[in-house]
Structure 1
């Protein structure tokens, strides 16, 4: 069984790969707008959103997918980032991060 330190190290490595993937997928103008720290921040917000929105408890469709309202999610993340003074991002900008994170997770 893996130790807590091993699990934390694995999580950190997974997050680093996710951030690198997201940064690569972003349009050029957004690559310059989002810092690495901000992308880590949004990864945390995305995970929190999944945990608190009921998405993880939703019943998948016949193909095994769960419908996620990316617009709603992006708006909530945009508002949270502004509230926590992490930067001003439009929901449209954040939707690129969300979609890239979903693509990364699907490929894992």
Structure 2
């Protein structure tokens, strides 16, 4: 598979993830975020995962890696403000993070 095919698969996966998150959000948040903002949040989450070291962490005795959702939320809020995307309520962003993790769970990527 070529590099272009890899990008197309990533775009398709991001699209499915955003749709899952939109369906996961509570009713009062469904119209709060644009698709562009949700794609941005996904990019920031990927950045967090790759720079925080959590992907390199050793699983516990049950095979789980502890990922602190509050740290991810703080990182997104901080980066969004720094990047000029806006000021977001951490409680709202937590639902986006939980939605992304639930999507991963539904695919069997995360336990």
The corresponding residue for 1:66 is 65
The corresponding residue for 2:40 is 41
- The separation in 2 between residues aligned to 1:9 and 1:42, in whole angstroms, is 19
The corresponding residue for 2:21 is 22
Name the TM-score, length of structure 1 as normaliser.
Answer: 0.94
Query: What stretches of structure 1 move > 3 A for 4+ residues in a row?
Result: none
Structure 1, gaps ≥5 residues long: none
Deviation at 1:31, TM superposition (A): 1.2
Tell me the C-alpha RMSD between the 2 structures: 1.0
Structure 2, gaps ≥5 residues long: none
The corresponding residue for 1:85 is 84
- The separation in 2 between residues aligned to 1:57 and 1:17, in whole angstroms, is 26
Name the TM-score, length of structure 2 as normaliser.
Answer: 0.91
- The separation in 2 between residues aligned to 1:35 and 1:63, in whole angstroms, is 38
